[in-house]
Amino acid sequence: MITYRLLSRADFIPLYECFLEAFVDYQVDMRMSQEQFQQRILRDGARLEISAGAFDGNRMIGFYINASGMWLEKLTAYDAGTGVIPARRGQGVGKELFAFMAPQLKETSCSQYLLEVLTTNKPAISLYRRLGFTETRRLAVFRRREPVQASGDAAVVHRIEKPDWELFKSFCDGYPSWQNSIDAVERIASDRVVICAYVDARCVGYGIVFKPAARLMQLAVAPTYRRKGIGSRILSALQDEVGESLKVNNVDEELKGTIAFFEANGFKLVLEQYEMMRGL
């Protein structure tokens, strides 16, 4: 008999083991150490007490890892990871687990539920649509084999410790995904690197990387300073900090200028995701 319940700190190791098993055949390599899994949970703001698991006896066979926070001015629950082990798929576990979990999340005053799913993951998309989710954005994932080689002296770059969020937001055309949001950056403050670009001692662009994963979280240049090599200079500086080419996840495909920037710097589109939302 399958049972469903909310999780606790005591479920961390079983959750980690179930996570690895559930994603063993995923399109993206999700293998990670226990420490990396903990870093992922911290970055996303996940809370085990509002996360849920499906159990066959004492064995976890499926899970929803949930976070909560403000999103577009509403208290929102976020799916930081969902999975069912291969042997138990197609048995309604995901649907029943969500049916158990949704009322629990509503009791926390969350008014909506946010997630991302690969556009190629047809079974998951079908399930989410049946559960009432609709697409809100299409997000691009980029990779580049070799580091960006920036040239020119259009700007001077320096590492800083404290982001100036009001200034940084004025550089941006859109808003980042949950995993790249300001809240996410602040949650991993000890593992982030922030680079600012300066022209005549004025900050005109910035970039932020999550150092353990070499993952670019945010990058933007003031509109009047674009197409001068400043963004590439920031990318190069961030790569020097992490020692490898950066991973770029979840770029809003409506931001055509941003997409063109990454493509011009040699990044290739490797995956796309739907951002999806439903009310609670």
pLDDT at 145: 86
pLDDT at 151: 67
For the cut 70, the answer to whether the pLDDT of residue 152 exceeds it is no
pLDDT tens across 221-263, in order? 999 999 999 999 999 999 999 999 999 999 999 999 999 999 9
DSSP class of residue 97? H
User: Order of strands, edge to edge, in the sheet holding 247-252?
Assistant: 2-6, 52-56, 59-71, 74-84, 112-118, 268-279, 134-143, 247-252, 215-221, 202-210, 192-199, 156-160
DSSP class of residue 175? -
What mean pLDDT, rounded, does the chain reach?
Answer: 96
**Residue ranges, CATH 3.40.630.30, the chain:** 2-110, 142-270
The average pLDDT across 33-52 equals: 97
pLDDT at 146: 84
Q: Which residues contact 81 (CB under 8 A, 6 or more apart)?
A: 19, 40, 44, 46, 63, 64, 65
The average pLDDT across 104-113 equals: 95
DSSP class of residue 46? B
Q: pLDDT band at 154, cuts 50/70/90?
A: confident
Q: Structurally, what CATH architecture does the domain formed by 2-110 represent? A: 3-Layer(aba) Sandwich (3.40)
Lowest-confidence region among 25-29, 96-100, 120-124, 153-157: 153-157
Q: Where are the beta strands (DSSP E) in the chain?
A: 2-6, 52-56, 59-71, 74-84, 112-118, 134-143, 156-160, 192-199, 202-210, 215-221, 247-252, 268-279
> Burial of 206 by CB count in 10 Å (0-12 exposed, 13-18 middle, 19+ buried)?
buried
Q: pLDDT band at 153, cuts 50/70/90?
A: confident
| SS3 (DSSP) at 206 | strand
Q: How far apart are CA 72 and CA 13, in angstroms?
A: 33
Residue type, 158: H
The residues that bridge with 69 in the sheet, in sequence order, are 76
Q: Which fold has domain 142-270?
A: Aminopeptidase (3.40.630)
Q: How far apart are CA 190 and CA 4, in angstroms?
A: 35
Confidence (pTM): 0.94
